[in-house]
Amino acid sequence: MNGDDAKNVASLAEQLEKLVAANEGKNLRAYIVDVSDKANKAELEKLVADKNLSKIGVAYIQGAPRDKVMRDWELNPAAKNTVLYSKNREVLFNAVNLLAKDFSKLEEAVKKSLAE
């Protein structure tokens, strides 16, 4: 939510929720992690409540831990969003400023890796 359009964030969250639900029992987890400089906690909590999100987690990382996450995951602080998909600590999908209309790219990566 680092300046991303609220509708895009909501749509991505809803699609993540559906993806996790569709793959229940396959150890697939999804999280929205806010590492922006701004405190978006209230906005994200409202999104979770409004969209009834229960399959995905939400986390807020600020201060020194935020700096470590940004560095370790090589995240661009100017990005509106970054979507990562990893399996066994290997990143299999990485998109910056992902639009909800392009979510199928993530779905394809998940389906491919779960079939292996």
Question: What are the extents of the domains in the chain?
Answer: 6-115
Give the pLDDT confidence score for residue 69 in this predicted structure: 87
Extract the tokens encoding 35. Answer: 């590492």
Report whether 2 contacts 36 (CB < 8 A).
yes
Alpha-carbon distance of 15 to 100, in angstroms, equals 8
pTM for the model stands at 0.87
Torsion angle in degrees (nearest 10) through CA of 50, 1, 59, 25 = 70
Give the pLDDT confidence score for residue 76 in this predicted structure: 87
pLDDT along the chain (116 residues), means of 10: 85 95 91 79 89 91 85 88 88 93 96 90
Alpha-carbon distance of 51 to 14, in angstroms, equals 7
Give the pLDDT confidence score for residue 14 in this predicted structure: 96
Report whether 32 contacts 55 (CB < 8 A).
no
Give the pLDDT confidence score for residue 12 in this predicted structure: 95
Give the pLDDT confidence score for residue 101 in this predicted structure: 97
Q: What would the CATH number be for the domain defined by 6-115?
A: 3.40.30
Give the pLDDT confidence score for residue 59 in this predicted structure: 85
The residues, any chain, with a CB within 8 Å of residue 9's CB and separated by 6 or more, are 1, 32, 47, 81
